[in-house]
Structure 1
Amino acid sequence: MMNEAIQAKSLTLGYGDSIIIDELNLSIPKGEITVFIGGNGCGKSTLLRSMARLLKPESGSVLLAGKEIAKLPTKEVARNLSILPQTPIAPEGLTVLQLVKQGRFPYQSWLKQWSNEDEEIVMRALKATRMVEFKDRPVDELSGGQRQRAWIAMTLAQDTEVILLDEPTTYLDMTHQIEILDLLFELNEQENRTIVMVLHDLNLACRYAHNIVAIRDKKVYAQGTPESVISCQMVRDVFDMDCQVSMDPLFGTPLCIPHGKGRCILKGGEINAI
């Protein structure tokens, strides 16, 4: 039985003459949450796009459930894998319900029109994201967190085993970040969905990921559990930053405390930097 949802084999990606990912090999475990981390411009989003067949490799291949994704019919890919890009934009006036229904397009054909099953899946996606009460609201009138939940509802309506998300918490406040990540965690726990996402917050990545992939110098620098990947040396090498790694008091996962300038406090009769 195959344990990899997606594999990259000797994958080289680029734009024009610029190589972003070079001869990269990677396996994404099935039924787990995998998070890509790395500095700006290291190729995290580029790698995610290639896994969704949105970017053609310069060389190498991406396998989806053991099959080369480039050779699969578009609808077959869309029935097995969905992607939520950074800051997606909906047409003006499009309602939440209309947006979420678009997730069912890969299942439509001349022979198979809109069905009760499609309707049930759309409503289930709206309920899972707590967006039922907003279904008739235009997407462009929603708050940032509500808008992101609407897009995730559309992704859920696509009903794929693998979900790719590029920085799903960007521009969201702390409350909405946790709300979105909790939702994705529940989808993984309850429905065994394979979740792959790019995150910038290392501490949130450690809390939610089974598997962390650190990208540096166009290749995988390290891959594994948060405990095996997150270290002072890794943060120094990948992010060019000094830090202290401690334990999250609530979750027991690695907690990265960056060095830097900040306020000072009086502690034990001595002044200490926070």
Structure 2
Amino acid sequence: MSVLETSSLTLGYSDTIIIEDLDLKIPTGEITVFVGANGCGKSTLLRSLARLLKPKSGHVLLGGDVVGNLSTKEVAKRLAILPQGPIAPEGLTVLQLVKQGRYPHQSWLKQWSSEDEKIVNQALKATKMEELSNRSVDSLSGGQRQRAWIAMTLAQKTDIILLDEPTTYLDMTHQIEILDLLFELNELENRTVVMVLHDLNLACRYAHHIIAVRDKKVYSQGRPEEVITSDMVRDVFQMNCDIIQDPLFGTPLCIPHGKGRRVSINEEYKEMISLS
């Protein structure tokens, strides 16, 4: 499988530096989640990993190759990205959208094949979009639309999938559906999945590896239980919180402090906090 990493990477827009002198290696075959405050550079970093943003200095390396030296088609064969809020042409059906994932594999000598058809059908099945394949993308609900776009990225058949806030604007049910799907892809097919997420608790539940970004650098990275601490949340998000153990999954659970309606805390909860 291809290894995705950066070497002395500096990113920015005009004279503004967003990420500076970053050396980073994405764990292969795992789910990695970028977390951090708005504007810290998570999405900028993700775009650069996919060769959508040219570095000011340094390199992104894909399987040891400098991404900037590879053709667009070659990158698309090895890495798929789902940007935030993608828009499909009006009237495009789900099937037509998913088929676009096979375009990097087409050429004058290699046209549409039975193998392409098989991969598209597998992507539709994996995302539970088979019955909606003839519907126009713009007629779908938010969760259905997101699954259609994920099906397209699956059809690219890449080792690495990058997703920028794939749960944004989705209700709780559809958020879990999307993250469960990505978790299964990682578990069953060993795909490397890299995401930007805002919800720390969902990040802890689904990620093997979390990277917290602050002040143009990686503030901390590692397993959720190593990264998600009250100190990290305070330093990165400027928010006080308690960190306890999720009673269902055993992962860190962030309880923010605030001025919401308070009720008396039972003894079990007090004990959970004292042990965290």
Question: What is the TM-score with the length of structure 1 in the denominator?
Answer: 0.96
Rounded Cα–Cα distance in structure 1 between residues aligned with 2:125 and 2:199: 28
Rounded Cα–Cα distance in structure 2 between residues aligned with 1:8 and 1:166: 18
2:5 alignment partner AA: Q
Q: Which residue of 1 aligns with 2:90?
A: 92
Spell out the pairing of 1:1-274 with structure 2 (5 A cutoff).
5-266=3-264
1:39 alignment partner AA: A
Rounded Cα–Cα distance in structure 2 between residues aligned with 1:207 and 1:61: 31
How far did 1:267 drift?
5.7
1:159 alignment partner AA: K
Rounded Cα–Cα distance in structure 1 between residues aligned with 2:265 and 2:44: 46
SS of equivalent to 1:206: helix
SS of equivalent to 1:170: coil
1:146 alignment partner AA: Q
Rounded Cα–Cα distance in structure 2 between residues aligned with 1:29 and 1:5: 8
- Return the structure number with greater strand share: 1
How far did 1:266 drift?
4.5
Give every structure 1 segment of 4 or more consecutive aligned residues whose post-TM-superposition deviation is greater than 2 Å. Answer: 264-268
Rounded Cα–Cα distance in structure 2 between residues aligned with 1:8 and 1:219: 12
Kept in 2: contact 1:241–1:258 (CA 8 A): yes
Rounded Cα–Cα distance in structure 1 between residues aligned with 2:193 and 2:203: 12
Rounded Cα–Cα distance in structure 2 between residues aligned with 1:50 and 1:200: 19
SS of equivalent to 2:153: helix
Determine what percentage of the aligned residue pairs are the same residue.
Answer: 75
Tell me the number of residue pairs that the alignment of Structure 1 and Structure 2 aligns: 267
Kept in 2: contact 1:103–1:156 (CA 8 A): yes
- State the superposition RMSD in angstroms: 1.3
Q: Which runs of 5+ in 1 are unaligned?
A: 269-274
Rounded Cα–Cα distance in structure 1 between residues aligned with 2:85 and 2:120: 22
SS of equivalent to 1:195: strand
How far did 1:57 drift?
0.1
How far did 1:43 drift?
0.2
Report the CA distance shift for 1:253/1:266 in structure 2 as closer, same or farther (over 3 A). closer
2:60 alignment partner AA: V
SS of equivalent to 1:237: helix
Rounded Cα–Cα distance in structure 2 between residues aligned with 1:263 and 1:221: 32
Q: Which residue of 2 aligns with 1:271?
A: none
Kept in 2: contact 1:25–1:220 (CA 8 A): no
Deviations 1:24-52 (A, max 9, x none): 11110110000000000000000000000
2:11 alignment partner AA: L
SS of equivalent to 1:265: coil
Q: Which runs of 5+ in 2 are unaligned?
A: 267-276
